[in-house]
Amino acid sequence: MTDTFKAILVSRDADKKQSVDVVDLTEADLMEGDVTVAVEATTVNYKDGLAITGKAPVVRRWPLVPGIDFAGTVTSSSHADWRKGDKVILNGWGVGETHYGAYAGRARVKGDWLVPLPEGVSAHDAMAVGTAGYTAMLSVMALERHGIVPDRGPVVVTGAAGGVGSVAISILSSLGYHVIASTGRSAESPYLIDLGAAEVISREELGQPAKPLAKERWAGGVDSVGSHTLANVLSMTSYGGAIAACGLAGGMDLPGSVAPFILRGVSLLGIDSVMAPKEVRLEAWRRIGTDLDLKKLSTLSRTIGFDGIVAAARDIVEGKIRGRVVVDM
């Protein structure tokens, strides 16, 4: 008898009305790929929330199993780099958008999309990091390449209580940066300080239309919000500073001016986690293993089961999730 496993399937009818169902699949139902993985842990990212709720056009193939991250064990492989029993991680590459994703007991993908699970990091811990944390590390690496080191001055992290923000604060503080955390949830201030934030400011300070230039407050930052928040962050960045932009929780627009770029030499660093080259991914995960205090993962994450994915997806879109959500499959 062919083994079956549970999966979440999002579908659309002729009128483009979206539905979400829990179904039973077999490996024969999976999409093409040269490596099959038993999914042991996954997570719920903001993008996953958008996919399940349909609040944004994340899903571009119907029907689809969502879920952009997973960690697990290879069960079969025809790829030269992977053998049965290998522990692997996947982030991005269109998985959960155009290719069946993590919210199933099995995933079949291209071996080139996988990276090895770092030594000493469990599948659960890897998903407490997930794409959000991996994106945070890519952002930190971009700031470092631009010369934004702790001695340059404070750094700001927007959307601080979210997944990217929580991990960014933890990494930056462990590297010695003075971190200013921006959040719309004042009750989360103790949590952010525990993660390593030196200061917490209200989202309202950055949420209004930005001046072309404002008082210089930080040398760099990590922004996952976009829109007015990013415009304000740029206007308050000191001469020669840089901001890593990696999200759009507040909007895709950027209603600012060129003044920070041409009068202060500020740089806007774009961060893409989906198609980042393999060597960059390997370096990011190596750095996560060394620069992220894994003990903090229990503070910045909570664990749910497969049956809690849909509710968590709705909550994250509504801003009700703090930190990271790990799904033990």
Which pair of tokens denotes residue 170? 């933890």
295 exposure class (CB count in 10 Å sphere: 0-12, 13-18, 19+) = exposed
Q: What are the residue ranges of helices labelled H in 213-296?
A: 227-235, 259-263, 278-291
What value does the mean pLDDT of the chain take?
95
pLDDT in tens, 27-58: 999 999 999 999 999 999 999 999 999 998 99
Q: Which residue has the higher pLDDT, 185 or 5?
A: 5
The predicted model scores a pTM of 0.88
What integer pLDDT is reported at residue 120 of this predicted model?
Answer: 85
75 exposure class (CB count in 10 Å sphere: 0-12, 13-18, 19+) = middle
pLDDT in tens, 205-256: 999 999 999 999 999 999 999 999 999 999 999 999 999 999 998 999 999 9
Task: Tell me the residue type at 148.
Answer: I
Nearby residues of 142 by Cβ (< 8 Å), 6 or more positions away: 242, 244, 269, 271
What integer pLDDT is reported at residue 199 of this predicted model?
Answer: 97
Nearby residues of 201 by Cβ (< 8 Å), 6 or more positions away: 180, 181, 182, 183
Are 69 and 135 spatial neighbours (Cβ–Cβ below 8 Å)? no
Are 115 and 47 spatial neighbours (Cβ–Cβ below 8 Å)? no
pLDDT in tens, 88-97: 999 999 999 9
Task: Tell me the residue type at 210.
Answer: A
Are 82 and 114 spatial neighbours (Cβ–Cβ below 8 Å)? yes
Percent of the chain with pLDDT over 90: 90
In the beta sheet, which residues pair with residue 305? 328
What integer pLDDT is reported at residue 89 of this predicted model?
Answer: 97
Cα 78 to the center of its chain, rounded Å: 29
In the beta sheet, which residues pair with residue 71? 41, 89
Are 140 and 222 spatial neighbours (Cβ–Cβ below 8 Å)? yes
pLDDT in tens, 96-146: 999 999 999 999 999 999 999 988 899 999 999 999 999 999 999 999 999
Quick check: 2 pLDDT over 80?
no
Are 243 and 220 spatial neighbours (Cβ–Cβ below 8 Å)? yes
Q: Look up tokens 């699949």; give the residue.
A: 25
Are 96 and 67 spatial neighbours (Cβ–Cβ below 8 Å)? yes
What confidence tier does 1 reach under pLDDT thresholds 50, 70, 90?
very low
Helix (H, G, I), strand (E, B), or coil: what is residue 303? Answer: strand
In the beta sheet, which residues pair with residue 9? 21
- Residue 319 gets the label, from left (phi > 0), alpha (psi -120 to 50) or beta, of left
pLDDT, mean of residues 280-308: 91
Helix (H, G, I), strand (E, B), or coil: what is residue 152? Answer: helix
